[in-house]
Amino acid sequence: MKLAYWMYAGPAHIGTLRVASSFKNVHAIMHAPIGDDYFNVMRSMLERERNYTPVTTSVVDRNVLARGSQEKVVDNITRKDKEENPDLIVLTPTCTSSILQEDLENFVDRAQMDSKGDVMLADVNHYRVNELQAADRTLEQIVEYYIKKARKKGNLPEGKTEKPSVNIIGMSTLGFHNQHDCIELKRLMADLGVEVNEVIPESASVHNLQNLPRAWFNLVPYRELGLMAAKYLEKEFEMPYIDITPMGVVETARCIRKIQQVINAQGANVDYEEFIDNQTRFVSQAAWFSRSIDCQNLTGKKAVVFGDNTHAAAMTKVLAREMGIHVVMAGTYCKYDADWFRKEVSEYCDEVLISEDNGEIADAIARIEPSAIFGTQMERHVGKRLSIPCGVIASPIHIQNFPIGYKPFLGYEGTNQVADLVYNSFTLGMEDHLLEIFGGHDTKEVIHKGMSADSDLNWTKEARAELNKVPGFVRGKVKRNTEKFARERNLSEISIEVMYAAKEAVGA
Amino acid sequence: MTVAQPEGLNFECETGNYHTFCPISCVAWLYQKIEDSFFLVIGTKTCGYFLQNAMGVMIFAEPRYAMAELEEGDISAKLNDYEELKRLSLQIKRDRNPSVIVWIGTCTTEIIKMDLEGLAPKLEAEIGIPIVVARANGLDYAFTQGEDTVLAAMAARCPKKEVEAEKEERNAIQKLLNFGRQKEEVAAADREYVDHPPLVLFGSLPDPVVTQLTLELKKQGIKVSGWLPSKRYTELPVLEEGYYVCGVNPFLSRTATTLMRRRKCKLIGAPFPIGPDGTRAWIEKICSVFGIEPKGLDDRERQIWESVEDYVKLIRGKTVFFMGDNLLEISQARFLIRCGAIVPEIGIPYMDKRYQAAELKLLEETCKEMGAPMPTIIEKPDNYNQLQRIHEMQPDLVITGMAHANPLEARGINTKWSVEFTFAQIHGFTNTRDLLELATRPLRRNSNLKDLGWDKLVKEAAEV
Ligand code: SF4
């Protein structure tokens, strides 16, 4: 058992539902107790979805516990098949079905006999995988299912599209700014003269999955969702895939160069250097922004980054490499894919934190006292308590992170959005401090900014008054350094003398 | 109590395939109500995910709630439940020092048959904090019934008189300090009440509403001896055999049963104090049990109706459809029919005809008096079928969960999110305006927008 107050990634079935309900005309039936269809609320609220979420429940109740759910599941599947004629019904196990150990596979086979549409059981185990892993696996499973089906029927199209083309893999419902990213990537592909063959799973039809092999390559913009499908297609059809997230100026260029390499290897003859140069210098504002005086003022400012692998890694690189910001700590909650994260960010930050424990992350932020945080909604609230501004860069997110206006994080327009987000976060914080400085010496009590243990040291009245003269934004740091200095020398009281000795010692 | 089977109301039962909140959601309002409690939900990531998202911003306010998240070792019984729960409960004791820990059993603890009721007394003795067990799971209950399971468990913990005497002993010094004054005040206060057997009310309401309803009864000379739950676990009301109890919410049937069977209390079966008509009927019923002639209720009710006429006229003649998810539906429908609405269908997760007998009777009478058609009450509704009926009959307002609200709005059908009624203050005379404010908001909003002309915002508007 684990005491938990907050989780970053949801349970497995959420991942399956996100993928299934992203497709057009695919219905998911959860094998779950009543009350587990909260996914429908989230989709309807967060995405402001106009259509009924194609997810229903085959309810597990006392009767089911006593007698098993065979008839019920089969009936629910065939009923839904008749009511809505979905192309595919995905039976989705939950934590409850994981321990009931019923033969769901068998129910699916039986239901298939009476259904016009296809029926499949999502291959996810609540106790082994989380939302993100389950989403990745479900997408692979659906792709594989329809490739095999087409192959069996002899429907797999031969050869490639005439012009270079791409499948964009991994866009899904409830994904962080996915809809905007998707538009931006399509634009980028159009600019590059690359046709978009298929986008999956968002708004895709399962009938089109057999066309996937016609693309020249696959683009997987997010680390968490799509890689398994891309690897499957690579294995089956030797389709190359690109898993460079085009977020930030440098990475977008890297992604484009990789596209160039991949399609030229298949006989295209493109040179994107001029495009990259033009976009970088004149279209995107981000490169110019990093040269401007605004950004100069951010040099060496401290930041902490936390989120999923994709966004935390990309953000760390943007901050450190493109804006000269000092990323003290970068972290991810994707524990299952921690090695990748470490490899991506290690050279751009001082520390790496891999954790699913929001308390640990909050404590780290309190200790570091960055000028800005880039994290999830949880880090935003930590920032609120510590009066440190926070830009939200990754799920879990709230309704305000599903903006109506166009806000991609990827591609060249994405670089502009990211620059705004970074700059606004830092200036917000600076304005606060300026107000404080020019408001004269404030008489506010020193607020200890630690989230956990309180200080055991005594400050003399004079020292405390002196500390209060230190401008707010460095006060916490001065206090901490002084206390560290005192502790190392076993001093229990901090006088003005100790304070200045500490300052000289650490050069604070 | 006789089972009143109102004639005229139609009862039906569908498949039970409807959307509702998991009953563990009661944690969200109960931890706020019972200030010295800590709620430990013993379940999986699924439960945690639901609570985290359903509680919204509350989750960031360091709530006195946590998940004991079961891992594979717990399921396969590789780990010892008792030791695991002890470890977590001690951690909670150390970090938060609550006066009670409420264990919420979930679907998983049911299926693996974790004996929470057996473990709790042992652990309670060992760590010195009361542990109350409520099995508020999605296998057996819907949404607000979660509160019912918690209060039924708490009812067993309410002290008897002797214990109360001990407590006073402990507070002796404080008593001494303001002895004279208190005694006089108590005596003066008691003169305002009629002599009647002790009355304890049950149901968790926000403190202002508790005060309002208590004062409302005080006007009739009725003293509320206690309230289950109280603001603090340590202040749970005394319950003795023969005490009278009365519910304030329609979903508290287990609590009512527990109070009657285990605590030997007498249940006053009244309609619920929702809407001025309900509040009046509630007070009248309590008065009649104590042989009190109610004073001034006529005027009080009339004044309230007059003061909200601007809202009532928006509802008059409108059809309202309840999809059903929180068990408040019968009382709300009865109130809206009194306002002049027509209610074709009342969906409800679970219908206790005994506990709700007086409310059902009032609903029926209200229909007759208002000349409104009798609604069909659909227990365990089927949302898919309901949507077909909604699209067919095109009601003016659908009271529904969030899963269906936006899709219905996009098809030009006004909706009100039902969950808001569970969190808003809707009880008593005083909150009538708030209740109507909620119910009419979609009508007012959409009449503000009505000239714009885009009320159907999906391509094939009528399709489900
Ligand atoms: S329905 Fe059961 S498994 Fe689902 S959240 Fe509720 S208690 Fe947990």
Give the model's confidence band at B449: pLDDT under 50 very low, under 70 low, under 90 confident, else very high: confident
> Any chain B CB within 8 A of the CB of A11?
yes
Q: Which of A48, A59, A95 comes nearest B46 by C-beta?
A: A95
Torsion of CA A230, A236, A238, A244, to 10 degrees: 10
Give the residue from chain A lying closest to B461, CA to CA.
Answer: A51
Sort out which chain A residues have CB atoms less than 8 A from B350's CB and list them.
none
A contact test, residue of B14, B26, B50 with most A CBs within 10 A: B50
Please tell me the least confidently modeled range out of A278-282, B389-393, B446-450. B446-450
Rounded Cα distance, A395 and B362, in Å: 49
Q: Which of B16, B49, B92 comes nearest A7 by C-beta?
A: B49
- Atom 4 (ligand 1) nearest CA: A36
Known active-site residue A294:
yes
Residue B202 DSSP one-character state = E
* Cα separation values, A354 from A77, A128, A331, A342, Å: 41, 18, 6, 9
Q: Which of B67, B74, B140 comes nearest A4 by C-beta?
A: B67
Rounded Cα distance, A76 and A115, in Å: 11
Distance B107 CA to ligand 1 centre (A): 6
* Min distance A83 CA to chain B CA atoms (Å): 9
Q: What is the pLDDT of residue B407?
A: 93
Containing A182, the helix (H) or strand (E) segment is helix A178-192
Residue of B25, B67, B116, B137 to test ligand 1 pocket, by largest number of atoms within 8 Å of CB: B137
Give the residue from chain A lying closest to B409, CA to CA.
Answer: A50
Write down the mean pLDDT value for chain B: 89
Asked if B45's CB is within 8 angstroms of A1's CB, the reply is no
Average pLDDT over residues B13-20: 94
Q: What is the pLDDT of residue A483?
A: 85
- pLDDT per residue as tens digits for the range B395-406: 999 999 888 999
> How does strand A372-375 pair with strand A351-354?
unpaired
Please tell me the least confidently modeled range out of A277-286, B16-25, B86-95, B158-167. B158-167
Rounded Cα distance, B28 and B34, in Å: 11
Rounded Cα distance, A72 and B406, in Å: 29
- Atom 8 (ligand 1) nearest CA: B47
Q: Which of A4, A60, A384 comes nearest B66 by C-beta?
A: A4
Give the residue from chain A lying closest to B89, CA to CA.
Answer: A3
Q: What is the pLDDT of residue B186?
A: 56
pLDDT at B458 over 80: no
> Any chain B CB within 8 A of the CB of A298?
no
Asked if A127's CB is within 8 angstroms of B20's CB, the reply is no
| Higher pLDDT among residues B162 and B39, named by residue | B39
Which residues sit opposite A458 in a β-bridge?
Answer: A493
Q: What is the pLDDT of residue A443?
A: 43
Asked whether B9 and B364 are in contact (CB, 8 A), the reply is: yes
Distance A61 CA to ligand 1 centre (A): 11
Distance B93 CA to ligand 1 centre (A): 25
Sort out which chain B residues have CB atoms less than 8 A from A127's CB and list them.
71-72, 75
Nearest atom of ligand 1 to the alpha carbon of A36:
4
- Atom 5 (ligand 1) nearest CA: B47
Category of B8 on φ-ψ map: left (φ > 0), alpha (ψ -120 to 50) or beta:
left
Nearest atom of ligand 1 to the alpha carbon of A94:
3
> Any chain B CB within 8 A of the CB of A86?
no
* Min distance B66 CA to chain A CA atoms (Å): 5
Pocket of ligand 1 (CB under 6 A): A 33, 35-36, 95-96; B 22, 24, 43, 46-47, 50, 106-107, 137-138
Listed as ranges, residues in chain A with pLDDT below 70 are: 428-456, 471-473, 506-508
> Any chain B CB within 8 A of the CB of A2?
yes
Asked if B75's CB is within 8 angstroms of A38's CB, the reply is no
Sort out which chain A residues have CB atoms less than 8 A from B384's CB and list them.
56, 83
Q: Find residues 193-252 of chain A whose CB sits inside 8 Å of chain B.
A: none
Q: Find residues 128-147 of chain A whose CB sits inside 8 Å of chain B.
A: 130
| Higher pLDDT among residues B63 and B115, named by residue | B115
> Any chain B CB within 8 A of the CB of A359?
no
Residue of A17, A31, A36 to test ligand 1 pocket, by largest number of atoms within 8 Å of CB: A36
pLDDT at B199 over 70: yes
> Any chain B CB within 8 A of the CB of A71?
no
Rounded Cα distance, B200 and B198, in Å: 7
- pLDDT per residue as tens digits for the range A77-132: 999 999 999 999 999 999 999 899 899 999 999 999 999 999 999 999 999 999 99
Asked if B458's CB is within 8 angstroms of A50's CB, the reply is yes
- pLDDT per residue as tens digits for the range B49-67: 999 888 776 666 678 999 9
Q: How many CB atoms lie within 10 A of CB B449?
A: 11
pLDDT at B361 over 50: yes
The pair of structure tokens assigned to B429 is 């005379």
- pLDDT per residue as tens digits for the range B296-343: 999 999 999 999 999 999 999 999 999 999 999 999 999 999 999 999
**CA atoms within 13 A of residue A190's CA, in its CB half-sphere:** 6
Residue B107 among known ligand-binding residues: yes
Q: What is the pLDDT of residue A429?
A: 65
Q: What is the pLDDT of residue A158?
A: 87
Give the residue from chain A lying closest to B92, CA to CA.
Answer: A3
> Any chain B CB within 8 A of the CB of A101?
no
Where do the H-state alpha helices sit in A305-356?
Answer: 309-317, 323, 338-345
Asked if A56's CB is within 8 angstroms of B143's CB, the reply is no
Distance B18 CA to ligand 1 centre (A): 15
Residue A247 among known ligand-binding residues: no
**Which one of the listed residues A37, A75, A191, A294 is annotated catalytic?**
A294
Q: What is the pLDDT of residue A299?
A: 84
> Any chain B CB within 8 A of the CB of A4?
yes
Asked if A5's CB is within 8 angstroms of B22's CB, the reply is no
Rounded Cα distance, B121 and B133, in Å: 10
**CA atoms within 13 A of residue A367's CA, in its CB half-sphere:** 12
The pair of structure tokens assigned to A148 is 């095999």
Q: What is the pLDDT of residue A277?
A: 95
Rounded Cα distance, B347 and B88, in Å: 40
- pLDDT per residue as tens digits for the range B209-237: 999 999 999 999 999 999 999 999 999 99
The pair of structure tokens assigned to B140 is 């057996």
Distance B106 CA to ligand 1 centre (A): 6
Give the model's confidence band at B461: pLDDT under 50 very low, under 70 low, under 90 confident, else very high: very low
Torsion of CA B71, B76, B77, B78, to 10 degrees: -80
Helix, strand, coil percentages (3-state) for chain A, rounded to 5, are 55, 15, 30
Give the residue from chain A lying closest to B68, CA to CA.
Answer: A3
Q: What is the pLDDT of residue A27?
A: 97
Q: What is the pLDDT of residue A432?
A: 62
State what percent of residues in chain A have pLDDT above 90.
70
Asked if A6's CB is within 8 angstroms of B69's CB, the reply is no
Nearest atom of ligand 1 to the alpha carbon of B23:
6
* Min distance A504 CA to chain B CA atoms (Å): 38
